């Protein structure tokens, strides 16, 4: 009698816990849906039942995409196409796609040794174009054979081709890693706090599977640069005076379901070379997905300095480090992060 009452009570507790989580998720969705003016916030729940090993929802999303098309390139192929996600039929927590310059061999090497070590829940690949230089190409082939983590497209690797690279990443994920629940797009000069990120994704961020999620450092009312800038853009390239709300491209977290939706639109609208504006601004707006700010979960330079000089307790919780880091800084920050 007592026993059954107790177990009833425990069951009741679990039901209440579940209700709280559902409420949290509902709030997140609602705020995402109604947030034309005020941006959504990330609602965090914490349930020890969920671990980084799942359970995952492994429903795969339909992809409507031509293999040999990459935006306006009609003869696209993957020069190198590794399959690190194959065999994970029960799902993966995260796949990280890292835009990288073919010359940045050292940066890739440091990432492999620090935050980007592949695990049973996370896979990491680097996105490269064609360096169109036989010496560098050979080096890449070697690196790719050794590590199996280079995704290379047959377009020229160039600064103004970075949107090809980002969209190639979406294409690769949609076709070759659709079992990953979340997708992080980042650059090769960033630190990702991968321990904290896995806990955050598995336990806190709608553990039963967030959808329609794009979260990042959100940039608003950015003015189109018409002169004296690395980001100079002509009226032909972009007619408006301001960009839509978009994500800083060095760390963008997507839920898997938005990948095929972004890809379909990207394949069918004109090319624009600033990839974060194009993918997370223009296209995200077209598919109606809000960009949710990660706010304090992004490490500022100031907090990075506190982390490396005084220790992690002075930096607070974070998921991504600041961009434009040297390889030494990446190692230094990684060493300062607790397991
Ligand atoms: C899994 O995801 C699919 C597609 O979004 C959804 O329809 C389904 O309800 C989800 N299942 C669970 C158990 O969350
Ligand atoms: C497309 O690529 C293939 C193989 O690289 C090549 O043989 C063919 O000529 C290319 N076609 C066009 C239209 O560029
Ligand atoms: C190819 O790259 C190597 C190594 O960076 C460089 O020394 C060489 O000049 C490059 N060749 C051409 C044709 O650009
Ligand atoms: C590949 O690179 C490794 C490490 O730099 C080197 O030891 C090896 O000889 C290279 N192999 C080829 C085939 O170039
Ligand atoms: C981008 O890649 C395409 C396809 O390889 C190439 O034709 C074009 O010249 C490249 N753009 C730049 C700015 O190098």
pLDDT tens digit sequence for 226-242: 998 899 999 999 999 99
**Out of 27-36, 78-87, 178-187, which region has the weakest mean confidence (pLDDT)?**
27-36
CA angle 308, 311, 312 (to 5 degrees): 105
Dmax of the chain from CA atoms? 79
**Residue 95: per-residue pLDDT:** 97
Rg (the chain; Cα; Å): 21
209: Cβ below 6 Å to ligand 1?
A: yes
Cis bond before residue 55 (omega within 30° of 0): yes
Ligand nearest to the CA of 143: 4
SS3 162: helix
Distance in angstroms (rounded) separating the CA atoms of residues 256 and 123: 14
Residues 270 and 74: beta-carbon distance below 8 Å = no
Q: Is the CB–ligand 1 distance for residue 208 below 6 Å?
A: yes
Supply the angle between the helices 258-266 and 162-176 in degrees, to the nearest 10: 130
CA geometry: angle at 266 spanning 264 and 272, to 5°? 175
pTM: 0.85
pLDDT of residue 2: 40
Residue 281 in 3-state DSSP?
A: helix
8 Å CB contact between 161 and 273: yes
Give the percent of the chain with pLDDT over 70: 82
| CATH number, domain 53-336 | 3.90.550
pLDDT at residue 102 in the model: 98
CA 170 to chain centre: 10
State the alpha helices, DSSP H only, in the chain.
2-33, 105-113, 134-147, 162-176, 194-199, 258-266, 275, 284-286, 301-309, 327-336
| Ligand 5 centroid, distance to 126 Cα (angstroms) | 19
Of 35-49, 84-98, 263-277, give the lowest mean pLDDT range.
35-49
| pLDDT the model gives residue 129 | 98
Report the atom number in ligand 5 closest to the C-alpha of 154: 5
């Amino acid at each position: 009698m007592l026993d059954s009452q107790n177990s009833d009570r425990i069951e009741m507790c679990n039901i209440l816990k579940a209700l709280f989580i559902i409420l949290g998720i509902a709030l997140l969705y609602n705020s995402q849906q109604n947030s034309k003016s005020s941006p959504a916030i990330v609602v965090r729940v914490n349930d020890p039942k969920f671990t980084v090993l799942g359970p995952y929802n492994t429903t795969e999303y339909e992809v409507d995409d031509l293999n040999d098309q990459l935006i306006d390139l009609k003869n696209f192929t993957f020069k190198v196409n590794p399959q690190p996600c194959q065999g994970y039929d029960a799902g993966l927590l995260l796949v990280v796609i890292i835009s990288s310059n073919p010359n940045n061999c050292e940066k890739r090497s440091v990432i492999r040794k620090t935050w980007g070590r592949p695990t049973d829940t996370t896979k990491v690949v680097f996105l490269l174009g064609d360096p169109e230089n036989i010496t560098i190409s050979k080096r890449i082939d070697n690196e790719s054979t050794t590590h199996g983590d280079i995704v290379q497209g047959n377009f020229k690797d160039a600064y103004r081709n970075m949107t090809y690279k980002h969209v190639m990443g979406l294409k690769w994920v949609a076709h070759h890693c659709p079992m990953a629940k979340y997708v992080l797009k980042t650059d090769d000069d960033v630190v990702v706090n991968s321990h904290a990120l896995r806990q955050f994704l598995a336990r806190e961020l709608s553990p039963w599977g967030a959808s329609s999620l794009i979260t990042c450092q959100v940039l608003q009312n950015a003015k189109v640069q018409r002169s004296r800038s690395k980001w100079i853009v002509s009226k032909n390239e972009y007619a408006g005076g301001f960009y839509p709300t978009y994500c800083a491209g060095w760390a963008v977290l997507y839920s898997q379901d938005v990948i095929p939706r972004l890809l379909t639109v990207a394949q069918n609208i004109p090319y624009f070379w600033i990839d974060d504006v194009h993918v997370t601004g223009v296209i995200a707006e077209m598919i109606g997905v809000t960009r949710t700010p990660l706010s304090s979960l992004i490490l500022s330079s100031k907090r990075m300095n506190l982390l490396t000089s005084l220790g992690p307790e002075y930096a607070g919780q974070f998921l991504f480090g600041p961009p434009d880091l040297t390889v030494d800084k990446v190692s230094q920050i990684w060493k300062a992060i607790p397991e």
